[in-house]
Structure 1
Amino acid sequence: MAEAASQGRKLTFLERFSYGGGDLGYSLAYNMAGAFLLFYYTDVVRLPAEAVGTIFLVARLLDAVIDPLFGIAVDKTRTRWGRTRPYFLFTAVPYALVFIAVFHVPDMAQGWQLAYAFVTFKLLGILLSAGSIPYTALMPMMTLDTQERLKLGGARSVGTSISVILGTAATMPLVAVFGGDDLQAGFTWTTLVFAAISLVALILLFRNCRERFEDKAVASDFKAFPAIMQMVRNRAWLVCFSFCLLYFIRFGVMLGLTIFFAKDVIGKPWLIPVMLPMVSGGLLIAAFIAPPILARTGIRAGCVAAIAVSLVLFAFMALIDSAADWQLAGIGVPPLLFPYFLFSITTSITITAIFTMAAESVDYHQSKHGVRYEGLLSSGISVSTKVGMAVGSALAAYVLAFAAYDPASVTDAARGDIRLAYYAVPSVMLILQAVAVLFWPMGGSKDITTGEGRTDWSDPAEGETA
């Protein structure tokens, strides 16, 4: 009875605010790196693009091994602070310090610079895993109510959008203010400011968000391999993993190439702090409109519809782009910005869906296997996020290498290659996302994220009923 009453308890504004701020704390460094680390390495430190792409790819692929270890650690953790909150407390300061180090490559031989770049970037990824996996695992422990989870997902989307605003729109203006013509000094001071913001956000997460539901069926000495085998047989988790992986491949490619698309293809460098923040603006708007939309349509139908609209908008943007020569046209504000902004909103609806899907896959796991394993399942989603960004960022770097990109002299052929990749790769990823989410399991005759309370988790495709 006590647990049933607790399940119906509405979360406070402070809890939702602090939970959403947790994404700001962990994503700020991540988004700044995603948007500007390729530019920082190639144009400030002057490292070769193909080597940078390999650093991104190898460092993040190692997360496929590292992240499940952190997930298992969360499920085995038993402390007076709970299972997730100690990780927020003890990773906050190291994460902030390594973030600063990533954007402060010393002046030394190029080989040593590449080694430094790899080590610091990998350390940032490890610390991100140590905090973000428990963070994702926290949501299903805070509430069992799907509607409350959608609200938490919306709050997290707000935190994500603010991190993207700061990590993209504010970065280069702050670099200019702090460093002037000295880009390295500008990046150093900017990361100091952002690291302080991250630290405050993570402290609030630790103080104000509590675990209310503990899976007593999971012993602290459980065997990892059987648990992993159960995870990969969890259909809801597999769909969430695939959907998230494809989303972040697309996001990584677009984030990495937008700088070069704006300044070299369109020929308007001032669009960099305009186009990148439009992504965050889309996230912010979607954070408010996605929960009621998804609550009415369900995860599957809502995501497919959002992706279909996104593809139409992106095609319209490409059509506008192909109809004008931006190097010669005297147009002040390119008209492609309007469909680009709407595209950012519609694709961002799926982020709230991903956050909720991750929590629902824990419930699905319990219905099929009798245990929850919040940490392990969350680690798999973390892998998809970081590997997706790694593949996307590496693809962006390899596009530059393929195009023989030279920041001192950009050829028309290079511009053409960048333009083609900017439209083709995201479109393919969106289509694959739509295919993936079609396999999202159903609860009875309804999607698992619709209706009142919990559903029965029957899955006609599997022939099982919980």
Structure 2
Amino acid sequence: MAENRLSLAERLSYGLGDMGTSLAYNMASGFLLFYYTNVVGLPAAGVGTVFLIARLMDAVIDVMVGIAVDKTRSRWGRTRGYFLFTALPYALVTVALFHMPNWSQGAQLAYAFVTFKALGILMSLQAIPYTALMPMMTRNSSQRLKLSGMRGVGTSISVVLGTAAVLPLVGLFGGGNQAKGFQSVAMLFAAIGFVCTVALYRNCKERFEDGSSPDFAILPAVHEMLRNKAWLVVFASCLLYFMRFGLMMSATAYFAIDVLGKPWMISIMLPAVSGMLLLSSFVAPPILARTGIKRGCVFVLALAAVLFALLPLAESNVALFLTLYIAACLATSITITAAFAMIAETVDYHERKFGTRREGLLSAGISLSTKVGMAVGTAGFAFILGAAGYVPDAVTEGARDAIRWAYYGSAVVLLALQTLVMMLWPMDGLRETIRVDNAARAT
């Protein structure tokens, strides 16, 4: 069957698609707060407000993009035109994000908001069609897990480049001038992301379409989405994951420098937050195929929560600390590989329950959960810094304690909540029944 014949070039290009979108986003997640506060000199609370408002606005933007994807019928298909027409603007905004003009503080905060919001809009225009593309490429669950693995490879490479490589490259290109270094790295990553997105456009094909009319009523469609149990589980799981991810990506540089007193650990800890996704991309598909998504994810999430709870006891032993930390990151990365396949399965669940697939709208809802989660996590940490009176050149013990317990406590609590959510995943016992029902409806 055509759905079982995805070429290696197509699978690789699908993985590159995530890298094209995520590289700039990971650099921004890991270092934009640091760049604004420690390089530009903006107040942490003001930057946190910029991040929070910009991301909360995505609630409307993401839904609009998802609906647009479901209504799109073009010579490039339903999704591929979005990759073609956003590749260059996304690259240009990436460069602008790390090129702060020498203006007044108020004007700089306004510039930060405009460029960060532009990045979010363009990311929506890439990421939502990209997520919607997988169920259009294949309906085979094994093939979807393989595509999820390739997407995990692209994600992990973008994390390694967007986190571990950033500060060394800033030093290399900047020659002691951090502002110049960040600008140069942003230009390099913009070029890489552009090439990856073009490869996605050229090589990935849409094979399956939603046969329903593109002229559908929006509010009833949103109401149906909110009644999709599989979608609700993925939404809540991704929301909790990215709240933790956003806080840890923003906090790791501060944690390594001001709490552990070991700046060199940034280049290990930041990519490990989700860099273990590279290994997970290969080990997760066979594991999850054997255990089922629900049982496998519940186990690794509970394990990760325990490992993070043990980290404060290991601060004085670097080797043990990093061993526990990396093991926890590998465990959580398995759940993200699972999430990529789960998102596609929410479409099958939706088709069985409502008779329509709505790939764009369902993907938009999940994209919204990741952005809101990142916003709450990143802004929350910025507000903690502000409340603790953080000053880069004079860090108090109170500020150090606030950073330490925000780092550990948020991970344990959010992982525990995500474990409970994953226990509600309905598809493991229904997948074959839904496949048969949907196939019968199509004939």
Query: TM-score band (shorter)?
Result: over 0.9
| CA 169–420 in structure 1, closer or farther in 2 if over 3 Å, else same | same
2:306/2:412 contact within 8 Å kept: no
Q: Which runs of 4+ in 1 moved over 6 A?
A: none
1:244 pairs with 2:225: no
What SS is found at the alignment partner of 2:276?
A: helix
* 1:90-146 per-position Cα deviation (integer Å, ceiling 9, x unaligned): 000000000110111101100000000000000000000011100000000000000
1:55 pairs with 2:50: yes
Match of 1:419 among 404, 407, 420: 404
Match of 1:161 in 2: 156
* 1:133-180 per-position Cα deviation (integer Å, ceiling 9, x unaligned): 000000000000001000111110110000000000111111101112
| CA 221–452 in structure 1, closer or farther in 2 if over 3 Å, else same | closer
2:352/2:434 contact within 8 Å kept: no
Match of 2:441 in 1: none
1:146/1:453 contact within 8 Å kept: no
Match of 1:393 in 2: 378
Match of 1:195 in 2: 190
Aligned-pair identity in percent equals: 59
Match of 2:348 among 339, 355, 363: 363
Deviation of 1:223 (Å): 1.3
What SS is found at the alignment partner of 1:126?
A: helix
Match of 2:264 among 267, 270, 277: 270
Match of 1:125 among 112, 115, 120: 120
1:454 pairs with 2:435: yes
Count residues with an aligned counterpart: 438
Separation of aligned partners in 1, 2:436 and 2:162: 39
**1:23-102 counterparts in 2 under 5 A?**
23-102=18-97
1:336 pairs with 2:321: yes
Identify the structure with the greater helix proportion.
2
Match of 1:319 in 2: 313
Query: Structure 1: which 5+ runs fail to align?
Result: 325-330, 458-466
Deviation of 1:278 (Å): 2.1
Separation of aligned partners in 2, 1:370 and 1:456: 10
Separation of aligned partners in 2, 1:254 and 1:19: 27
Deviation of 1:220 (Å): 1.9
What SS is found at the alignment partner of 1:454?
A: helix
Match of 1:302 among 296, 299, 312: 296
Separation of aligned partners in 2, 1:175 and 1:213: 44
The TM-score normalised by the length of structure 2 is: 0.96
The TM-score normalised by the length of structure 1 is: 0.92
Query: Structure 2: which 5+ runs fail to align?
Result: 439-443
Please say which of residues 281-290 and 110-119 is displaced more in the overlay: 281-290
Please say which of residues 370-379 and 312-321 is displaced more in the overlay: 312-321
2:277/2:337 contact within 8 Å kept: no
Match of 1:377 in 2: 362
1:146/1:454 contact within 8 Å kept: no
Deviation of 1:80 (Å): 1.3
Counterpart AA for 2:216: F
Cα RMSD over matched residues?
1.5
Counterpart AA for 1:396: F
Please say which of residues 33-42 and 177-186 is displaced more in the overlay: 177-186
Deviation of 1:453 (Å): 9.8
1:104/1:188 contact within 8 Å kept: yes
Match of 1:6 in 2: 2
